[in-house]
Amino acid sequence: MTETLLDLKDLRCPLPVLRANRTLNRLPPGARLRVLATDRAAIADFQAFCRETGHALLAWSEDSGVFSFVIRRRPDPPSADPPGDD
């Protein structure tokens, strides 16, 4: 499965989450997004963001001060069928 890379290093809270959200909204359901960030607050921010939005935080790691978050876009909610003449 391919994943989109979003380099948000040197941006401060809340910009990494806001930009990741904008990118996720453009991706198809189930797509993966890898976000690179350097703001330590991003750890808690992405955990809360995924918990609140239904996206899946698949993994996160840190290497030399760069945090990597892998997020899977949530499935679209089922659309309601228009009322019929049942």
13 has catalytic annotation: yes
Of 81, 9, 20, 82, nearest to 46 by C-alpha is: 20
DSSP 3-state of 12? coil
Q: Provide the strand spans (E) within the chain.
A: 3-7, 32-37, 56-63, 66-72
Distance from the Cα of residue 76 to its chain's centroid: 14
Give the active site residue among 11, 13, 31, 41.
13
**Residues paired with residue 4 on neighbouring β-strands, in sequence order:** 33
Show which residues are catalytic. 13
